[in-house]
Amino acid sequence: MKTILFLCTGNYYRSRYAEILFNWHAGRHGLDWLAVSRGLALYSGNLGPMSADTRAALRELKIPFDGYLRLPQPVSAADFQAANHIVAVKQAEHRLLIEANYPDWVERVEYWHVHDLDFCGPNDTFPHLNREIAKLLERLGEMAADG
């Protein structure tokens, strides 16, 4: 089983959604990948284990998430080392954090451009993540088919 690591700032909203959505679809497509998610700079003001917006979006898709209800987790060097692929969900926000704390990994990360709540709401963020996850799954599926 290969591991994909999704990174965002707080591991509360975007990366958690990406992790759960990826695992849901990867399991149904028979891909030998498992996603985990972590945060680059956890925020203590979050309420509960996962964003209410993330839970609502997953409910709407009828994707169970009870098994993912845990407090946000900070990324560690071991998380980077264990991952076969790494995605930071917003380059402008996360590249600097990775450069400052994990400089050896900066060029090994795939950077997306999915905004947080400071730029747009869930009605834009989740569809954007859906598209990015679909493209990633397609690439991984093609790679598996090519051997």
Q: What is the pLDDT of residues 47-105, one digit of tens each?
A: 789 999 999 999 999 999 999 999 999 999 999 999 999 999 999 999 999 999 999 99
- Say whether pLDDT at 118 is over 80: no
- Say whether pLDDT at 107 is over 80: yes
CA distance 129 to 114: 7
Residue with tokens 């869930």: 122
CA distance 145 to 147: 5
- Say whether pLDDT at 145 is over 80: no
pLDDT at res. 117:
74
CATH of the structural domain 2-146, one choice from 3.30.70.3340, 3.50.50.60, 3.40.50.2300, 3.30.70.920: 3.40.50.2300
- Ordered by start, the domain boundaries in the chain are 2-146
What's the whole-model pTM score? 0.95
- Say whether pLDDT at 147 is over 70: no
- Structure tokens given for 9: 């700032």
pLDDT at res. 144:
72
Query: For the stretch 23-53, what's the b/e string if a residue is b when 16 or more beta carbons lie within 10 angstroms of its beta carbon?
Result: bbbbeeeebebebbbbbbebeeebeeebbeb
pLDDT at res. 115:
82
Mean pLDDT of the chain: 93
Higher pLDDT, 101 or 142: 101
The Cα angle at residue 91 between residues 112 and 87, in degrees rounded to 5:
50
